[in-house]
Each structure stands twice: as structure tokens, then as C-alpha cells.
Structure 1
Amino acid sequence: MHCSAATSQHPESSLTTILIINGEDHMTTKAVDVLLVGAGAMSTTLGMLLKQLDPSLKISMVERLDHVARESTDGWNNAGTGHAAYCELNYTPKTADGGVNTSKAFSINAAFEVSLQFWSYLVQQQALPQPEQFINPVPHMSFVWGEDNVQFLRTRYEALSSQPAFADMEYSEDPEVLREWIPLIMQNRKEGEKVAATRVRYGSDVNFGSLARNMVKYLEKQDGFELLLNRTVKDLDQQQDGSWSVELRNEQSGKCEEIDAKFVFLGAGGGALPLLQLSDIPEGKGYGGFPVSGQWLVCRKPEIVNKHLAKVYGTAPIGAPPMSVPHLDTRLLDGETALLFGPFAGFTTKFLKEGSVLDMPRSISLSNLKPMLSVGMKNMDLTRYLISEVRQSHADRVESLRSFFPDAKDEDWELSYAGQRVQIIKKDEHGSGKLEFGTEAITAGDGTLAALLGASPGASTAVPTMINIIEKCFPEQMASEAWQAKMKQMVPSYGHDMVQEPNVLLEVRKQNLDVLKLDS
């Protein structure tokens, strides 16, 4: 143990036992069924799913900050794009024969529809507030210029729109049509410039911070749920019976607390990797993390903001990571409408926005040293790109914005800092390393612990990702008629492959658009 025992800061909780020895308070182990580490989109989603499946479960959620969803989940710390692959060109890479690979786009599109189904269910059950408090309709668009890029977008459109999932996608190279879609972007562009765009009108802007906070608000009203803020996980030890003894430090009192959990989920964003390493499970060996910071240019001037209603994605600069694909977005956050452009990447050794510069050095171990060194040597383009991004001035960033918005003025935009993204580094088949830009769930062989690493599409696919964890870690319960029936009630497409069964996807999409008021 790393700190002395102390009394609970929540004596009212039915989950806590106090033992009096020689006139002093000592905490015995607090026993719960599920411990959720981190109070962001992933943990709150898993908590909601499990409480719906079995209301009797005793669940504790611990968060090192003093508020829920203040790191990457917070509205201003991400782009709020409900990642459905409508506009993100990096989800449809070029192939050697000049075509595009659409497999990732279709899988992400189907995954987002799963999230929408669960949110729709929660709205109908009044477990979430009215949709406009956390999700709003904002068209999703791709916009390119130059002959090669226009050809690529045309090919992408033809490949996607030929399938039912993307049949509503619109395409145009006509400047007059584009002026109707995106007047701000088309204003004063070069005469005769070759441009093209695609549009899906029922794209969305998601306030993931509001979504997570409303989920926790609901959970706190349920018996057997406890939220513990200002708690830092200091150690995890697995006991002989398979349960986990988790040591916490109360950052307000400085005292130590313990929780004994049958199942632990590490959903702490960039902070999940060090916790996974603390667990010492074999499945977590060899993983490393490459942190990338993000910045946005933000405009709040109504005369500019009111001329743009879309999330418009372009093509990534050479050497840029997929998360740095430039986009000009409408954001609707807590009653405020603003425009956001970026992200501008930078290098940091912090794993969290409010983390420590020692996060990355402390994460290096014998098991991941070789993969991390290998990735560093293989990704010099990325390194040079990050250095160039760090050296940019405000004028340089606004100049990049002018590719999208030619009339942009330096004084109309201010710099805002986004949340940290920790890209996954993992061993490849040769024992070397490779850099991953998606999300990955790691589960212990005995199903008692799971962790989520990585970044985009992240929170957009939280529901299918958490369902996958439940299937792996609660296999007996998931096999029961009760859990199967409840899962199908929450997610009507459960048990179907919506990529292979587009009729199912279209049916649930119609319901989602109606309940969440996205097709307006």
C-alpha cells in the first residue's frame, strides 16, 4: 500500500464499512461489483448499459478531477463530430488501383448507428434529457480543391453512395450549388478553381460532455451507484478470488481509500495506459502511447458564425496523423454557437490535458521499449509534421484556415486548447512496433478487467465498444434470456450485422433520426 487507511468521504454510502480500532477510524475494503475508472464518455456509457441490464449491480465510478467529463469528453476538448464516416476522408483511403477502400467507412457508420440507438432509447425512457441538450443536426460535408482531390472525392462518392447506408449522400462540383451549401467557404474563392463537395444533411454535432454528465446525473439517482470525485488510482492488485483491490488517494484529504471490485474498467482516456500497466495483466504487455496535443481556432462572432452550418472536412497534409485532418465546424455547446477550425497538432509528454510531463517517460518499460523506439524511427514524417505545427504562429494558423475560408481575419479567431490524444503503440508480428490511430479495447483473459486505449472515432462508437466489452467480460450473463432481451430493447439491431444487412440499418436509422430530431 502507498498511503495510510482513512475514513470515507461518503459515510452515507451503503457501499462503505467503517471499522473502529483503538479509537481510530480505519476503512475496510469497499466491495462493489463494478469499478469504473474515469468519468468520461466510455465509463458513463458502460455504467448506463450495465445498470440497465442489471439494476442490482453495485457500481462505483472514480474520477481524479472534481467534475465529470472534464478531459477529452468535454465539449470544447473535441470536435463533437458524431463520427459516421460521412465526411472524414481518412476513413476511405486511396487504393493502389486508384479506387478507395470503403470497409472502414461502412463499419464506423454502422457503429455510430448503434450509439444513436442507445441514446434514442435513453431519451424515450427519460434517462436522458431532450436531444437538443446533447446532440443537434449539423450537415456533414467533405470539401476539396484541385483536380486530383476532386477526382478522389468523386470516386469516393460513387463507391459510397452506391450502397444503401450512404444513398442519401449528395455530390456537386457546381460552384453555385456549393454557395448554397457552404457560403462562407465559397465566398471570394479563386475564379475557376476546381472544387467539389459531398453532403449528408443529417450529420450531427454531439456535446459529449453534456451527454456524459447527464448519464451520471441519472446513474446517481439509482440504488447501488456511487460517484467518487478527486480520487486518483495509485495501485491495482488482483486477489486470489479474481477480484481487484484498488487503492485510491483522496486528493482533497490526502488519505487512502480501498475498493474491492469483481470487475474493473479503465476508461480514463489518455490515463488508461499507465493504469493498464499497473494492473500487470499479460494482455497489456507491450503497449505504449504516443501523446498528441491539439489546438483549435475558434470564432464566436455572430456575423461570421451565422453564415456557416456544417462540419466540413478536407484532406490531411502530408505526414499528418489522421486525427489532424483539417475541418471547419459548427459547434453548439450549452446554448452557444461557434465555429471551430483545426486541429493543429503538437507534441507533449502529457497523457492528459491536466496531466504530468512525466506521463510518457514513466510509461516506458522493458516490454514496450522496442515497439516505441521502432515507431519513433519509422515515423519521421510525423515527427517533422509535429515540429512544424508547434512552431506555427497565430498568423500561420489563420493562413491555413484561409484554404477553407478565404476571407478569414486574424483578429476574428482565438486559440483554444483541445484534449490530449494518446495514439496506441503496440507490438507487431515481428516484435517491433506500429502506431495505431483508432481505439482498442484490451480485456484480461479471465474477464475481470478491461481497458480502452486510443483516440478517434472514440466517443462516437462508445456504445458498440462497451457492448463488446460486456460480451467478453460478462459472458454468462449476456447468454441469459433476460440480458439478451434487454440488449435488444436498448439496441434493436443487436445480433444483426448492419454492414451486411443494410435493411436493418435503414430501419433503425429512421427511428434514430426521428427520436433524436436529426433530420430537420
Structure 2
Amino acid sequence: MDNRQTKTDVILIGAGIMSATLGSLLKQLVPEWDITVFERRSAAGEESSNEWNNAGTGHSSLCELNYTVEQPDGSINISKAIQVNEEFQFSKQFWAYLVNSGVISNPKDFIMPVPHMSFVQGESNVAFLKKRFEALSVNPLFEGMEYSDNPDLLKQWVPLMMKDRIVDQPIAATRIESGTDVNFGALTRLLFDHLQKNNVGMHFNHQVDDIKRNSEGLWELKVRDLASGAVRRHAAKFVFIGGGGGSLHLLQKSGIPEGKGIGGFPVSGLFMVCHNPEVVAQHHAKVYGKAAVGAPPMSVPHLDTRVINNKESLFFGPFAGFSPKFLKYGSIFDLITSVKPHNLVTMLAAGAKNFQLTKYLIGQLMLSKEQRLEALREFVPNAKGEDWELVVAGQRVQIIKDTASGRGTLQFGTEVISAADGSIAALLGASPGASTAVSVMLEVISKCFPQHIKAWEPKLREMIPAYGTSLLQEPALLREIQAETSRTLGLTNGNGASGHGDKTSALA
């Protein structure tokens, strides 16, 4: 081991969309800071951020039914939907800033307009969807949303889904044109390419084996070069652990008390993918349904138009599975080695409380190809097996921790865990993840650099016009910012109007 120590201002662990976003924000705010990135894979965006490892949905609650919960009194709680939508607005605004400032030359390299839809069958589900539509469509964030339970109109919206469908029960859908398909892998690579050109040290094939506080108060990392085997020490004032499923182990090694008692449960995913141009041409939307009983929110079935390398394809899924790995390219010992004395009881409690999830995962693992095709045919009635192939997606690690609702609570979503002094932070969790990267990284900046926030506010507002503002209280400003952002990102429709607000809400 080389005992020499290399010092820097900021170390980012993991070259995914989260580190790319934080690095890009910090480089704009304090360009003089030295930033170093360590990534165990050979390139950026190879794990969860990769375009083949996620659905590419710009999560903004336009179609995801799990963000709107029906209350015991029958009303629809839309607070989570509003939160996720507002967070995605931050991402789009920052991306637009990067386009305007020349960091990204062509937004079509990573983002495309694709309508977002929700589709349900059965009387109770149709009633739920209509109430959801009525609750959302009056909100400025969801202007332009349409609802229909008319099969003839649905044939126009989703011809592939309606072809050969036997309509023997009520069906309905909502549709909003301002949805997006985002290639987070491409965006990650674009951001890191720019950072590397601006003197950010990128170290691929480098694995962080350990992380400890040293006598100087710096965080010291033991980093192994996977190509040569050489081990070196690197130290920084601030460390961000953005290693996806690998973050939990590194958080535990840091020893900070805020990381105690937290566990993780890995869920793998698979998609069925269609490249047949005749089939692909019949569908242009991201269509989300309702999750099966016992399924985790990330397993809501959806049929998606995807744009990867300028070529359209269709994704259907995800089908959940179980692997003890925390990363797609991780170790089968990841789960067992994450169990520590401080989180053992929490993990055992989670196992006892989540019988339905366990049962669901076992059922998913046992599905045959024909059974997966039957699930697909709920969306595409005439789907043919030869048109669809199975693709293994990324690993997601759901957070397990003790909460007010009890021990061993399985958390869905993302969470920032940071030391009291803000010198180190880790991002844990999964969806909506990448879509809300800018909002989540602003949380990291706020928690970890409170002493700089006042001085940074003017630049933050330049990059993200809605920063520090409740746009819901200023609908005119909201529409203005959305229109400008959509124009910059190439998300406008043919007549130049923004996808948001260019259609009135309609019942058909």
C-alpha cells in the first residue's frame, strides 16, 4: 500500500447520475474547488443510471398511480404527487441551464417528449382514476391532463393496447402530453465528460475499500486500482457516497452514528423489450397501470416508449426478482455482509413484517416466459413471444429502518444520510431517484454546506429559477418557467406551445 496521501476538496464515490449532478452543481457554484471521482466500473453510468437498467421515465407523477393514495373516506391524497412533480421541475430547469450555458449541446441526446398515461380496468379502478384525475387536473402542475373511458378515443391514444382487446369491463385512461423519456445513462456521461474537461479527476476501475476519519479531521479513503491492484490513500474535506446499492456498505464503514440501524433489501428487475419496428410504431406513450397486491411500488407495470441511441423500442415490466447482490455487478455476499449488530433486529423485524412482499418476489421468480407474456397481454392483447426478449435491469436496494410506524420499516424512495457536521453524505434508496437528482443534490448541498448557502443563492436561482419559490402560489410564473424550459429542452409540440397548459382538461 502506498502511504502517500492525496488531498482534495471533494470526493464523489460512484459515477452515476447522482454524483454527476452534485459534481456539476458544485463546479458551477465553486469552480475553484478540486473534485475527484472514483468509480469501480470502467465507465460512467454503468449501474442503475444506465439506460438499459431503468425505465427512463421522467418521474413527475403524471402517470404513476402509486404517488396518489386513496384515503379511507374515498378522497385522493395528491401531496406526494405534487412533491415529485415539483422536484422533477427542478431537474428540467437545471438541465435547461446546462443547455443554455453550453455544457450540453443537444438536449435530444438525453431527453425526448413522450406522453404519460395511466390505464386501468374494472369498475373500482376506473372510479379511482376518475377521482385522481379530478384532484390533479385542477392543479397548475398537471394542466393539460385528459381523462377518457371511451374505448373509441382510447383506440386513438393507444392503438397497440386497444387492438384485439375484448372490452368486457369498464376501462379508462388519463393522458398528458408533457411527459418525458429520459436517457439517464447518456445524461450521466454528458455531465462527466464536461466535468473531466474542467479538471475533475476521474478514476475508473477504482474501488473504495474503506473510509475513516483521520487525525486531521479529513475523510481518508483506501482506494484500490482494480487493474493493477495498487492501493492508495486519498483524503477530502467532504465525501459524497453515491454508489447506488454499494452506498450502504460504505456508509457503515464511515462509522457515523447517523448510519446506525439502517439496513437494505435488494430487489432486482427484468423488462420485456420489443425492437420490431412494426410493433413499436403502433405505440407512443409511457402507460402505467396499478401494482399487484403485495408488489413494491417500483414494480408497477408499465408499457414504455423508449428512445435509446436515436432508436425507438418498447419496454414492458418491470418483473421483480431477488438477488442478494446490492449492485448488478456486485457480490452475492452483499446482503449478508450488510447485516451488522446495530441493524440486526431491524432487519429481522422487516422480514417478519413483509411476508406479502416475500410471497410476491417468490411468485415473480417462478414466472415462466408464457406467464410473463400473459402479463404483457393485459397491456398488449395480441403480443407475440417472438417480438419480445427479456432484459435484466439494475438492482435496487430499498432502505430498512426503524420509524414512528415501527421497527424494520421498508422505505421506498430516496434518502440522504449525512453526518452532523455535513462532512460526509450518502444517498440510499431507489425510485423516483434519478428524476429528482437535482432536488436531492440540493438537499445534500443544503445539509452539508449551510455556511455557503446565502452566498450561493444568486447562482442557484440563475441555474434553477424556481429555487426557494413555491410556484404553486404563482401559477403565471410556473407556466412561464415551464414554457421556457420546454423550449430549451426541445419538448415543445409542433405549434411551438409547451406541452404543459396547451390543452385544457377534458372528460371524454
Which TM-score band (shorter chain)? over 0.9
RMSD over aligned Cα, in angstroms? 1.1
User: Cα deviations across residues 131-183 of structure 1 (Å, max 9, x unaligned)?
Assistant: 11000000000001111110000000000011111121111111111111100
Note the alpha carbon deviations across 1:55-101, whole angstroms, 9 max, x for none: 10100000001111000000010000000000000000111011211
More displaced 10-residue stretch of structure 1: 431-440 or 355-364: 431-440
Aligned to 2:106: 130
- Say if 2:210 is the partner of 1:235: yes
Structure 1 unaligned residues grouped into runs of 5+:
6-26
Aligned residues of 1:110 and 1:499 also touching (Cα < 8 A): no
Q: Is the 8 A contact 1:107 1:499 kept in 2?
A: no
Partner of 1:492: 465
Question: Partner residue of 1:64?
Answer: 40
Q: Which amino acid aligns with 1:397?
A: R
Q: CA deviation at 1:504?
A: 3.7
Work out the CA distance in 1 between the residues paired with 2:53 and 2:20.
17
Equivalent position of 1:506 in the other structure: 479
Q: Quick check: 1:427 aligned with 2:402?
A: yes
User: How many Å apart are 1:409 and its aligned residue?
Assistant: 1.0
- The one-character-per-residue Cα deviations of 1:394-441 (angstroms, maximum 9, x if unpaired) are 111011000000000111110000000000001124762100011000
Q: Taking every aligned residue pair, what percent have the same amino acid on both sides?
A: 52
2: CA distance between counterparts of 1:503 and 1:91? 25
What residue identity is the alignment partner of 1:67?
Answer: A
Contact kept in structure 2, 1:232 and 1:250, CA below 8 Å = yes
Q: CA deviation at 1:192?
A: 4.2
* CA–CA distance in structure 2, aligned partners of residues 450 and 500 of structure 1: 32
Map 1:382-461 onto structure 2 (within 5 A). 382-429=357-404, 432-461=407-436
Alignment match, 1:368: 343
For the residues of structure 2 that align with 1:327 and 1:31, how far apart are their CA atoms? Answer: 46
Deviation at 1:505, TM superposition (A): 2.9
- Classify 1:192/1:251 alpha carbon distance in 2 versus 1 (closer, same or farther; 3 Å): same
SS at match of 1:188: coil
The whole-number CA distance in structure 2 between the counterparts of 1:241 and 1:519 is: 53
Match of 1:258 in 2: 233
**1: CA distance, partners of 2:259 / 2:23:** 23
Write the mapping of 1:24-35 to structure 2, written as runs, cut at 5 A.
Answer: 28-35=4-11
Code of the aligned partner of 1:513: S
Secondary structure (helix, strand or coil) at the match of 2:304 reads: strand
Q: Across the two proteins, how many residue pairs are aligned to each other?
A: 493
What is the 5 A alignment of 1:292-307? 292-307=267-282
Tell me the residue number matched to 1:467: 442
TM-superposition CA deviations, 1:218-260 (whole Å, max 9, x none): 001113x100001111111112332101110100000101111
Whole-angstrom distance in 2 between the partners of 1:240 and 1:278 = 17
What letter corresponds to residue 345 of structure 2 in structure 1? Answer: K
Number of the residue aligned with 1:310? 285
Q: Which residue of 1 aligns with 2:150?
A: 174
Match runs of 1:104-115 below 5 Å = 104-115=80-91
User: Would the alpha carbon gap of residues 500 and 422 (structure 1) be closer, same or farther in structure 2, given more than 3 Å must change?
Assistant: farther
TM-score by length of 1: 0.93
Structure 2 counterpart of 1:418, which letter?
A
Contact conserved, 1:371 with 1:431, CA < 8 A, in 2?
Answer: no
Could you say which residue in structure 1 is the equivalent of 2:165?
Answer: 189
Describe the SS at the equivalent of 1:205: strand
User: 1:501: Cα distance to partner?
Assistant: 4.2
What amino acid is aligned across from residue 419 of structure 2 in structure 1?
Answer: A
Alpha-carbon separation, structure 2, partners of 1:412 and 1:71 = 26
Summarize the Cα distance change of 1:200–1:361 in structure 2 as closer, same or farther, 3 Å threshold. same
The 3-state SS of whatever aligns with 1:60 is strand
After superposing on structure 2, the runs of 4+ consecutive aligned residues of structure 1 that deviate more than 4 Å are none
State the alpha-carbon separation in 1 of the partners of residues 224 and 263 from structure 2: 25
Say yes or no: does 1:45 pair with 2:18. Answer: no
Q: Which runs of 5+ in 2 are unaligned?
A: 494-508
Q: Answer with 421-430 or 169-178: which moved more.
A: 421-430
Q: Is the 8 A contact 1:291 1:349 kept in 2?
A: yes
- Deviation track 1:432-460 (CA, whole Å, cap 9, x = no partner) reads 21000110001100110000000000000
State the TM-score, normalizing by the size of structure 2. 0.96
**For residues 63 and 81 of structure 1, what CA distance do their matches in structure 2 show?**
25
